[in-house]
Amino acid sequence: STSGSFLPQSVVVGAVDAPACVDWSFQDPVEAGGCEYYAESPANCSDAYTNADGMDAIDACCACGGGYDPRNCTHNLTWVDSTGWTCADYAHDGSCDASGTYADANGVSSQEACCHCGGGAPDAR
């Protein structure tokens, strides 16, 4: 008999029936739209502008050949930022701490720890 509990260090996000591509959280600084704009007008992908986070539609949006595959994404399950938010909180809110302002005590930000924010395992990108 063993006592205590087991807490995994990472978790594979997504299921077999999950979509093959999910857009990153992205807002185009000029077009005032996100990936939805490019999904409606994919011919504009090559004209995409880079936002303050250094991301453009070609990297962020499935319609432009970017995005990520949630079926192969692994994020850190034990990571908690300085405000108490976890990767699940960021994914549920649909946001990311692009500046790293709310990194954890070790300086790891949501951008590094969470699939939804572009982090997680190297195969998540």
Instruction: Give all strands (DSSP E) within the chain, no chain letters.
Output: 10-13, 73-76
What pLDDT score does 81 carry? 94
Under DSSP, the state recorded for 114 is -
* In a domain? residue 93: yes
Q: Which residues contact 72 (CB under 8 A, 6 or more apart)?
A: 12, 14, 121, 123, 124
5 belongs to a structural domain: no
How far CA 88 is from CA of 46, 59, 106, 116, in Å, comes to: 32, 22, 19, 9
Query: Residue 100: inside a domain, yes or no?
Result: yes
Q: Would residue 4 count as lying in a domain?
A: no
pLDDT of residue 59: 85
> Cα dist. 6→3, 14, 43, 78, 104 in Å?
10, 21, 49, 12, 22
Our count of domains for the chain comes to 1
- Domain span at 47: 10-124
In-domain check, residue 50? yes
In a domain, 83, yes or no: yes
Q: Is residue 3 part of a domain?
A: no
What pLDDT, on the 0 to 100 scale, is given for residue 16?
46
The pLDDT averaged over each successive group of 10 residues in the chain (125 residues) is 42 53 78 84 85 81 85 80 89 76 90 82 47
pLDDT for position 18: 56
- The confidence score (pLDDT) of residue 40 equals 92
- Does residue 57 belong to any structural domain of this protein? yes
Q: Closest Cα to residue 38, out of 56, 51, 54? A: 56
